[in-house]
Amino acid sequence: MSTHDSETTSDSQSTRERILAAAAEIIAEDGVTAKLSVRAVASRVGVSTGSLRHHFPTQQMLRDEVMQRVYDWVLPDSEIGNSAVPPRDRLVDCLRQVLAMTGAGPEARAAMDTVTATFIAVEQTEQVRESYLAMQRDGQRRVEEWLRVLAEEGALTDKSRIPQLARFLCSVLDGISLERALPAEDSLAQLETETLYVAADAVLNPQPRPAPR
């Protein structure tokens, strides 16, 4: 019987949580593009590299899980399941929560400076790529979860398009985040609201697409 086979469920869960905590500490110390090497994380936790690989077979799986936990902590619980509120309003509110993380004006510019310095104005190493994709996947996953809830209510009829629609909404958020960092009109908040509702309506009430010629 292997060490992993004899490990109790509670011990296994505890080890997994300690691994995630150690990886989060490394990211907090060195930034989101920090290298989560198996040896470094295992050493900080005090477990073997084999034990770490048992819980997280790849560095990418570990990074994805850490980033998911970070955003679970940062973002408030969404009201996407509150059926007392119209679906489009709930979806817009969830999108606004994500935008709130970037702030506005000076905060938005500082956030964009960080993104540029971390992911754009640097050598595009595999580590940088993996770090960015972990954040992107987590954003995509969250939006897909919101759309699945609405689909279960019947507010979104074509479940097969959820990944595509989530990607569209993430692109809308990226555009608004960038716009917030740029010189803008005083009425930007109103324009954002209109844009978010247009995006929500495009997802929840799609117009028939013309047949290809």
Condensed to tens digits (0 to 9), the pLDDT of residues 111-131 reads 888 888 888 888 888 888 888
Examine residue 32 and state whether it is found in any structural domain, yes or no. yes
Does 93 lie in the same domain as 67?
A: no
Question: Last residue of some domain: 34, 54, 72?
Answer: 72
Does 154 lie in the same domain as 131?
A: yes
Examine residue 133 and state whether it is found in any structural domain, yes or no. yes
Please give the pLDDT value at position 1: 43
For residues 166 and 160, is the Cβ–Cβ distance under 8 A?
no
The domain that holds 163 is classified in CATH as 1.10.357
For residues 175 and 82, is the Cβ–Cβ distance under 8 A?
no
Examine residue 209 and state whether it is found in any structural domain, yes or no. no
The domain that holds 15 is classified in CATH as 1.10.10.60
Please give the pLDDT value at position 144: 95
Does 109 lie in the same domain as 67?
A: no
Reported as a pLDDT band with limits 50, 70 and 90, residue 85 is very high
Residue numbers of the domain that contains 60: 9-72
Residue 2 has pLDDT above 50, yes or no: no
Question: Last residue of some domain: 17, 43, 72?
Answer: 72
In angstroms, rounded to a whole number, what is the distance separating the alpha carbons of residues 132 and 206? 30
Does 63 lie in the same domain as 133?
A: no
Reported as a pLDDT band with limits 50, 70 and 90, residue 6 is very low
Does 97 lie in the same domain as 51?
A: no
Does 104 lie in the same domain as 48?
A: no
Examine residue 62 and state whether it is found in any structural domain, yes or no. yes
Of 74-83, 125-134, 154-163, which one has max mean pLDDT? 154-163
Does 83 lie in the same domain as 51?
A: no
Tokens 């073997």, residue located:
48
Question: Last residue of some domain: 21, 46, 72?
Answer: 72
Lowest mean pLDDT among 1-15, 36-50, 155-169, 192-206: 1-15
Examine residue 213 and state whether it is found in any structural domain, yes or no. no
Does 198 lie in the same domain as 96?
A: yes
Examine residue 33 and state whether it is found in any structural domain, yes or no. yes
Does 88 lie in the same domain as 59?
A: no
Percentage of residues of the chain with pLDDT beyond 70:
87
What long-range pairs does 30-34 form, CB within 8 A, spacing at least 24?
31/118, 32/67, 32/118, 32/131, 32/135, 33/118, 33/119, 33/122, 33/127, 33/128, 33/131, 34/131
How deeply is 41 buried, as exposed, middle or buried, from its count of CB atoms within 10 A (0-12, 13-18, 19+)?
Answer: buried
Examine residue 210 and state whether it is found in any structural domain, yes or no. no
Does 188 lie in the same domain as 85?
A: yes
Provide the greatest CA pair distance for the chain: 67
Examine residue 195 and state whether it is found in any structural domain, yes or no. yes
Please give the pLDDT value at position 173: 94
Please give the pLDDT value at position 161: 94
Does 130 lie in the same domain as 34?
A: no
pTM, entire model: 0.76
How many structural domains does the chain have? 2
**Measured distance between the N- and C-terminal CA atoms of the chain, rounded to whole angstroms:** 63
Does 182 lie in the same domain as 133?
A: yes
Please give the pLDDT value at position 182: 87
